A and B are shown apart, each in its own frame.
Chain A
């Protein structure tokens, strides 16, 4: 039986960024298989999938679908051939209903008039036939992310997709939503659909995929049966060297208190405050981790500490200065650095050059400006130094950064935020969406900053990250600190109980 997808000798070169994104790639997927495509950021996975989806034409190579050669010049060609893609950033119309989104461009109707009742019926039948319940009349903007993704998948199925490409489908999902997605994927594979999904979360590969292809630097380096491989082996194939899954660090040597938060109350989106009287302090040379299920007030806490959101009550201190009501710029001048949760829209300006990004928090320093004029020669030198020191791949000082991979973008953010040795670093989900190699880099850099005497507030929903980096751990639950644990006491179980709203006494009892 021919393969559902067979790509041979695919090469793609982007002259504008001078990147050989794919180099002689061979990629085969069997029918009704769940196939994981893994690799570091910038390994060429997305380029390969975009070629299969007709977004890019390869410079060289052939594509065979079900054994027949096809030429895909445009996504429409791919869709006609039964290949469909769910992008990382959904392409839905938020103000339209679920049914309107799914049937966009294929509305059933008569003489140019829409028939909403019929649309809802069509979508309901489609959803039932695949066992993917949705409410056809709900507005997409009101749906949680997992549901929006389901709408995207249904949209592809409505177009009779036989081969479904999912670009990092779990990056935006909660663990619960991820489990639901996996059920959907298994269900579709049982119905004969072929699934290719891009990821860099290796446990997910082990859990769901049948076959896994590993890419590195534009080439396929391995193709394994999942049953015959392991996470360390995959990580080694991805990165090209042994990967340390445990962070190596010396015991902390905490110094004086650098930052403190007293009875902080911060408003949230709804009627109740999101942060309801939180107090803690961070010492020089220690990492204080804040764990918790997403949405328990961590975001608001970080925004209040960094000056992005006003404080209702309480106070924030940095080196004995009361910074509660200072604007962001003055907080930064007093030694605050902030690695934000969203590097794409907050941490960086993707519309401008690397130069202008790298000085956004530091352009007033005498090295970068004199009497109001920017010193571009010095700025360029600084940008080149960051690129070299952090080995930011494919980056050039005077050019745009919108084509860089997530790991490289985060390196730019970290390079900027950590230069000048800030006293207090707020790192909010610093490794979200990064591959193993980049995660290792971020962790190493934070530990180094700690050992140089910085006080670090780490907020993360990844328990492994919290546990391996933090010296002390606070758990947030519904806007309050549910409990504090030392790094040694924090087990998956004790953290889990606190995160779910349990009490520390319970933790001790069960321990």
Chain B
């Protein structure tokens, strides 16, 4: 029953979401049956629309990966905070702060290509990192619950962004308030014409690897995880828990800010009122569904994005099944992650069965 080895953690990070997804699909088929469509056909359409790739210029998978990019990053942001013992729900606000800074620096300063997006992303990470650090200070110095402060700060960030795009940064008096287009030099290039999947995706995957290395291979990451798991033990060992928590939320904010910057530099190229569809919140869900593990987050984010796209263009367009079902499907899966102990039992049972067959010969006694 030693379930904490890193290998087992990784198996769980992969197997639990997969099992939750299968369960969600099974239950959702009931709804499909009720609405009069064949579940098999519907899922076929769903997956085809979400993950197929017929031609380079007409590739749904590319769009899915583009949609997954901010989800991976906001999911990683949540992982960074949760693993440090801070239940920060501030990803949405930090995402908006990062996006606002990126959109402003995109037209306000002029730098050569390559350098310009790098400066912008660094600035967005710094700004959003501070925005994430602040509730950490409130928690460690004054003991104010971080769940509440981060949610409140999300609202403040949203109002700030709305103000910025309506007044100081407003480009013209069009119907939807928006800021001027960013410089061409600041744009993060896409890989293929007709799709916005590009450098941002690479950054997101690299970030997943870096978060994994940081948390499991470096001293500050180790300190953050220990302080997050058992604060008393960490303090007893000589780890400064407040420092670890502050690092955790500041880095978490920076990653969410990077997500916002990439969304502006790679996809929208300007700030639009209401451009975020709750990507920060989705990040929390991705993190939970992905077992608060960077590998799980990367897998789940891609899946999540594909389901969304598939529901929109597969179910709705091809089968006239309302696309809300896609959202419902995702919600069902989250629900099934909540019963992960059931899967843990299955996985453990499978492991025991396997080991019994392998090791029956020589049980080592305690």
Note all chain A residues with C-beta closer than 8 A to B235: 308, 328
A472 at the interface (CB under 8 A from B): no
Note all chain B residues with C-beta closer than 8 A to A15: 351-352, 355-356, 359
Q: Which of B222, B237, B240 has the most chain A CB atoms inside 10 A of its CB?
A: B237
A250 at the interface (CB under 8 A from B): no
A17-B232 contact in complex given A327-B238, A372-B219, A393-B366, C-beta closer than 8 Å: no
A399-B4 contact in complex given A351-B229, A356-B222, C-beta closer than 8 Å: yes
Note all chain A residues with C-beta closer than 8 A to B351: 15-16
Q: Assess whether B237 is in contact with A21, with CB atoms less than 8 Å apart.
A: no
Which of A259-267, A272-280, A358-366, A461-469 contacts the other chain?
A358-366
A295 at the interface (CB under 8 A from B): no
Note all chain A residues with C-beta closer than 8 A to B236: 306, 308, 328, 338, 340, 346-347
A356-B238 contact in complex given A16-B352, A396-B2, C-beta closer than 8 Å: no
Name A353-398 residues within 8 Å CB distance of B.
353, 356, 360-361, 363-364, 369, 372-374, 376, 393-394, 396, 398
Q: Assess whether B240 is in contact with A374, with CB atoms less than 8 Å apart.
A: no
A349 at the interface (CB under 8 A from B): yes
B348 at the interface (CB under 8 A from A): yes
Note all chain A residues with C-beta closer than 8 A to B220: 372
Q: Assess whether A217 is in contact with B219, with CB atoms less than 8 Å apart.
A: no
Q: Name the one of B3, B234, B365 contacting A20, with C-beta atoms under 8 angstroms.
A: B365
Q: Assess whether B359 is in contact with A327, with CB atoms less than 8 Å apart.
A: no
B7 at the interface (CB under 8 A from A): yes
Docked complex Cα distance between A446 and B144 (Å): 43
A21-B366 contact in complex given A328-B236, A372-B219, C-beta closer than 8 Å: yes
When C-beta atoms are compared, the residue in chain B nearest to A369 turns out to be: B219
Note all chain B residues with C-beta closer than 8 A to A330: 238
A402 at the interface (CB under 8 A from B): yes
Docked complex Cα distance between A20 and B234 (Å): 33
Note all chain A residues with C-beta closer than 8 A to B239: 329, 360
Q: Assess whether B355 is in contact with A351, with CB atoms less than 8 Å apart.
A: no
A18 at the interface (CB under 8 A from B): yes
B233 at the interface (CB under 8 A from A): yes
Docked complex Cα distance between A364 and B220 (Å): 10
Docked complex Cα distance between A399 and B1 (Å): 9
| Contact bitstring A200-242, B, C-beta under 8 A = 1, else 0 | 0000000000000000011000000000000000000000000
| Contact bitstring A327-355, B, C-beta under 8 A = 1, else 0 | 11111110000101000011111111100
| Contact bitstring B335-364, A, C-beta under 8 A = 1, else 0 | 000000000000010011001100100011
Main secondary structure of the interface of B (DSSP, over half): helix
Q: Name the one of B1, B7, B217, B237 contacting A398, with C-beta atoms under 8 angstroms.
A: B7
When C-beta atoms are compared, the residue in chain B nearest to A405 turns out to be: B366
When C-beta atoms are compared, the residue in chain A nearest to B348 turns out to be: A16
Docked complex Cα distance between A352 and B6 (Å): 9
A252 at the interface (CB under 8 A from B): no
A373-B4 contact in complex given A346-B232, A352-B226, C-beta closer than 8 Å: no
Docked complex Cα distance between A308 and B219 (Å): 22
Q: Assess whether B240 is in contact with A327, with CB atoms less than 8 Å apart.
A: yes
Note all chain B residues with C-beta closer than 8 A to A402: 1-2, 4
Shortest CB-to-CB span from A256 to chain B, Å, is: 25
A374-B219 contact in complex given A328-B235, A329-B238, A352-B225, C-beta closer than 8 Å: yes
A254 at the interface (CB under 8 A from B): no
Note all chain B residues with C-beta closer than 8 A to A349: 226, 229-230, 233-234
Note all chain B residues with C-beta closer than 8 A to A400: 1-5
When C-beta atoms are compared, the residue in chain A nearest to B362 turns out to be: A18
Docked complex Cα distance between A340 and B240 (Å): 18
B175 at the interface (CB under 8 A from A): no
Docked complex Cα distance between A199 and B263 (Å): 62
Shortest CB-to-CB span from A236 to chain B, Å, is: 20
A294 at the interface (CB under 8 A from B): no
Q: Name the one of A16, A17, A361, A376 contacting B238, with C-beta atoms under 8 angstroms.
A: A361
| Contact bitstring A402-441, B, C-beta under 8 A = 1, else 0 | 1101000000000000000000000000000000000000
A360-B237 contact in complex given A345-B232, A349-B230, A403-B1, C-beta closer than 8 Å: yes
B173 at the interface (CB under 8 A from A): no
Note all chain A residues with C-beta closer than 8 A to B277: none
Q: Assess whether A351 is in contact with B219, with CB atoms less than 8 Å apart.
A: no
Q: Assess whether A398 is in contact with B6, with CB atoms less than 8 Å apart.
A: yes
When C-beta atoms are compared, the residue in chain B nearest to A328 turns out to be: B238
B218 at the interface (CB under 8 A from A): yes
Note all chain B residues with C-beta closer than 8 A to A42: 366
Note all chain A residues with C-beta closer than 8 A to B217: 373-374, 376
Docked complex Cα distance between A128 and B98 (Å): 68
A14 at the interface (CB under 8 A from B): yes
Docked complex Cα distance between A16 and B345 (Å): 12
A373-B233 contact in complex given A352-B225, A403-B1, C-beta closer than 8 Å: no
Note all chain B residues with C-beta closer than 8 A to A17: 1-2
Docked complex Cα distance between A393 and B364 (Å): 10
Shortest CB-to-CB span from B353 to chain A, Å, is: 8
Note all chain B residues with C-beta closer than 8 A to A218: 365-366
A27 at the interface (CB under 8 A from B): no
Note all chain A residues with C-beta closer than 8 A to B364: 18-20, 394
Shortest CB-to-CB span from A363 to chain B, Å, is: 6
When C-beta atoms are compared, the residue in chain A nearest to B1 turns out to be: A16
A182 at the interface (CB under 8 A from B): no
Q: Name the one of B218, B237, B240, B365 contacting A19, with C-beta atoms under 8 angstroms.
A: B365
A13 at the interface (CB under 8 A from B): yes
Docked complex Cα distance between A19 and B362 (Å): 10
Note all chain A residues with C-beta closer than 8 A to B352: 15-16
When C-beta atoms are compared, the residue in chain B nearest to A19 turns out to be: B366
Shortest CB-to-CB span from A257 to chain B, Å, is: 24
Q: Which of B220, B233, B364 has the most chain A CB atoms inside 10 A of its CB?
A: B233
Note all chain A residues with C-beta closer than 8 A to B355: 15-16, 18
Q: Name the one of B2, B233, B237, B359 contacting A399, with C-beta atoms under 8 angstroms.
A: B2
Q: Assess whether B4 is in contact with A217, with CB atoms less than 8 Å apart.
A: no
Q: Name the one of A327, A331, A351, A361 contacting B230, with C-beta atoms under 8 angstroms.
A: A351
When C-beta atoms are compared, the residue in chain B nearest to A395 turns out to be: B2
Shortest CB-to-CB span from A311 to chain B, Å, is: 16
Shortest CB-to-CB span from A68 to chain B, Å, is: 30
Shortest CB-to-CB span from A462 to chain B, Å, is: 22
A18-B218 contact in complex given A345-B230, A346-B232, A349-B233, C-beta closer than 8 Å: no
Docked complex Cα distance between A374 and B3 (Å): 22
Note all chain A residues with C-beta closer than 8 A to B363: 13, 18-20
Docked complex Cα distance between A466 and B212 (Å): 47
Docked complex Cα distance between A217 and B222 (Å): 36
Note all chain A residues with C-beta closer than 8 A to B229: 349, 351-352
Note all chain A residues with C-beta closer than 8 A to B230: 345, 349-351
Note all chain B residues with C-beta closer than 8 A to A327: 238, 240
Q: Which of A42, A351, A401 has the most chain B CB atoms inside 10 A of its CB?
A: A351
Docked complex Cα distance between A425 and B366 (Å): 30
Note all chain B residues with C-beta closer than 8 A to A21: 366
Docked complex Cα distance between A23 and B233 (Å): 36
The 10 closest A-B pairs by CB, nearest first: A329-B238, A400-B4, A399-B2, A360-B237, A400-B2, A15-B352, A15-B355, A328-B238, A349-B230, A19-B366
Jot down 7 A-B pairs with beta carbons below 8 A, ordered by A.
A15-B352, A16-B1, A329-B237, A332-B237, A349-B226, A352-B4, A376-B217
Taking Cβ atoms with an 8 Å cutoff, the residues of A that contact B are 13-21, 23, 42, 44, 217-218, 306, 308, 327-333, 338, 340, 345-353, 356, 360-361, 363-364, 369, 372-374, 376, 393-394, 396, 398-403, 405
Q: A327-B238, A349-B234, A374-B219 are in contact. List 15 more A-B contacts (CB 8 A).
A: A15-B356, A16-B352, A18-B363, A308-B235, A331-B238, A347-B236, A349-B226, A350-B230, A372-B218, A372-B219, A398-B5, A398-B6, A398-B7, A400-B4, A403-B1
